[in-house]
Structures are given as structure tokens and as C-alpha cells.
Chains A and B, each alone.
Chain A
């Protein structure tokens, strides 16, 4: 079945550091890929998405490129802020339902 694997966390960075969060997936077809972010006590918010190979999703300085050859969708940001501290989930969608990775907690120090 479909699955999403995220790198182990948590991750702690200093403000303005470069961020990479790895995500790889397994799917039988051609899924859409998403990154969601969850702030404490809240639901998930869509951060960015890509619907086909080589698409790049971007939002709020975050980027991720749909790499079919490596089945990856790594999240990057050039300069993180304290306000980026949250839990980040990689997900794929086939036949409407979402399959999530376990999530990774990012903490950004001032």
C-alpha cells in the first residue's frame, strides 16, 4: 500500500539557518504530494503541494520539488524564523484519502 517516510526528529535550528526535511514515498500510481504544518493545539494547515513530477510547490519561503525518479518530496527553506516552529507532515493523496508521514517537530531558537 501507499506509505510516506519522513526523517527522524526532532530538529532544532538557530534562526536564519537553512532547513531541509526529507520525505520519501511509496505509491502504486501517480499521487499528489503535500506538506502540512501543525501549530500547537491546532489542526493541519496546507503549506504547499505538487501534483505531478518535477512540479515545485512553494509558500512562505518553503519549497519542495516532486521527484519521481527518487520518489522524494523534500521540504527546504533558506532562512528559518522562530515562527516556523511547528510539526511538519509530508503526505500523499491517491483516490482522495491522504496518507501521512509521522511528522517532524521543528524548533527554531532566536
Chain B
């Protein structure tokens, strides 16, 4: 019973390159959430998606960041023209369809993005 799968686990990019982070939710989960964890900080919400829809992107930076969750395949968090400040751990979580506020989210092991 696979959990939330994120890849890659570690990603190194140079300034100005693009970073693509992938997340496959748990089986039967159709709600996906992305969070960012800066060093010595808690996780900050970025975006909440259902299949083919962005539900809440209030935590996403207005520029360079985008997310999708297509009908087929994993959810993708895309960061264009990366800068040093994008270095962080990015976590994906999923929850069952029809999740309300009391449904726990299940987290992946994260992608650690380093910008040179």
C-alpha cells in the first residue's frame, strides 16, 4: 500500500534553470497539497489541487511558480528561473476525495531543492 511518492528526493539546479517536482498521491486520493519548508521553519502551504483543478493557490508566489494535477499522471510543481531563495524542502500531501477539514493529510518524504 504505497504512500505519497515524491521524486526526485534531491534536486540541484543552477540559478536561472527550471525545477520540476513530482508527486503521486496515495491510491484513492484525489486531493493534493504542496508545502514548502525553509530551514528552521515550519511548513508553509502553497497550493491545493484536485484532478485538473486548482482549488486554492493562496500560498503560491505570484511569479515563476506553477502547479498542475492532470487527469492522468502525477502532480507537478514547477519553478521557473530558480533563485537561491528557492532552496528548500518541498513536501506533497494527499487526502481522500471529499476531504473536509478533519481528514488528515498524508505526506511524502519531500524533495530537497538546492540552488547553486
Contact = CB atoms under 8 A, between A and B. Distances in A.
The judgment on whether A and B are partners is yes
Interface of A: 4, 31-32, 34, 36, 41-46, 49, 51, 89, 93-103
B108 interface: yes
Interface string B5-43: 010000000000000000000000001010100001111
Contact of B106 (A32, A46, A95, A96): A46
Contact of B35 (A31, A32, A98): A98
Interface string B98-116: 0111111111111000000
Contacts of B100: 96
Contacts of B110: 42-43
A92 to B, nearest CB: 9
B44 A100 contact: yes
Interface string B80-101: 0000000000010101000111
Contacts of A31: 101
B102 A100 contact: no
Contacts of A96: 31, 33, 48, 55-56, 95, 99-101, 103
Given A43-B4, A45-B107, A32 B42 contact: no
Contact of B107 (A32, A43, A51, A103): A43
A97 B109 contact: no
A43 B100 CA distance: 22
A99 B45 contact: yes
Given A32-B101, A34-B104, A98 B45 contact: yes
